Amino acid sequence: MADKTRVAFLGLGAMGLPMSEHILAAGFPLTVWNRTAAKADALVAAGAVRAATPRDAAQGADVILTCLPTQDEVRDVLTRPDGLLAGLARGAAFVDTSTIDPSASQQLIALCAERGVDMIEAPLSGGTIGAKSGTLTMMIGGDAAILERVRPVLESMAKNIFHVGGAGMGQTLKLCNQMIAGAQTIALSEAYAILHAAGVDAKLATDVFAVSTANCVAIQQRVPVPGVLPNSPATNGWRAGFATEWMAKDLFLSLQFARSLDIPVAQNAANLQCFEQAIQAGYRKLDQSVYGKLLIDAVDAHKKHE
């Protein structure tokens, strides 16, 4: 694919904005759209074109990407009267990087095929850190030939690109990834609450865990105690690398998908309840590791009343 491939990007949130910045920096002519138009200001100042509607963004684009919170929003942006399908040319390639239900993704890919539009799913892993550094992992579901057509665009923002199977396979793998990641976060939260209650130094414990069987991505990035890791959300005001509300959404999708396959996922169901508890406590927009704060605060409150 030529370097002058025309790209459109819709959804300039915590992930979509830095992803778009990498596409623009790679030299691709870029058109952007976002519900809140002001979020495109920095990109427009850097050379991107602002579209008034999804249809306008799609017109003339060779590759169109979306990064949206839910499957309802993906479907709406695609099918509304001024949506992508109203502007996409036959033979254009549509890449949805959102995390949605596998069956919903299969339906959207089939709908696009009926309209002569090639679509693949490309859910992401790496959070805002990966999006900003251009080191995301993409799990591609759909036609491998479509992936090869859009690969140069994807490589501008992702380090690891895996074709994992047909439509729905990428979303399935992503939901399973979230089940594992969410379990790590809850396990850390509970463990560090116990350490706090027992008076064990959190930094010392982290050093031990880092060279023990407990070592995992959460130990490296999401210790829920301020000051232990300089770049962790806990040390930086719980700024979201991946917000609590989005982890809860992904675990809910994985729970529903597992039930459709008659697979018991008791651990996942329990973890979802923990994240929902954090949301109820007002931590919806904060990083998922804030559940650890919830538990540690409860320990401190209990000590005060002893």
Q: Which residues pair with 93 in a beta bridge?
A: 63, 118
Q: Clarify whether 293 is annotated catalytic.
A: no
Please count the residues of the chain.
306
Half-sphere exposure of 47 (CA within 13 A, CB side): 12
Residue of 39, 132, 174, 304 marked active site? 174
Eight-state DSSP code of residue 225: S
Q: In sequence order, what DSSP letters do the residues of 242-266 get, joined into one string?
A: SBHHHHHHHHHHHHHHHHHTT---H
Hey, what amino acid is at 31?
T
Virtual torsion, Cα 257, 148, 128, 178, nearest 10 deg = 20
C-alpha triplet 170, 176, 177: angle, nearest 5°: 85
Half-sphere exposure of 88 (CA within 13 A, CB side): 31
Q: In sequence order, what DSSP letters do the residues of 262-285 get, joined into one string?
A: T---HHHHHHHHHHHHHHHTT-TT
C-alpha distances in Å from residue 129, one per residue of 15, 202, 231, 262: 9, 24, 10, 35
d(CA 120, CA 146) in angstroms, rounded, equals: 7
d(CA 265, CA 253) in angstroms, rounded, equals: 12
Catalytic residues: 174
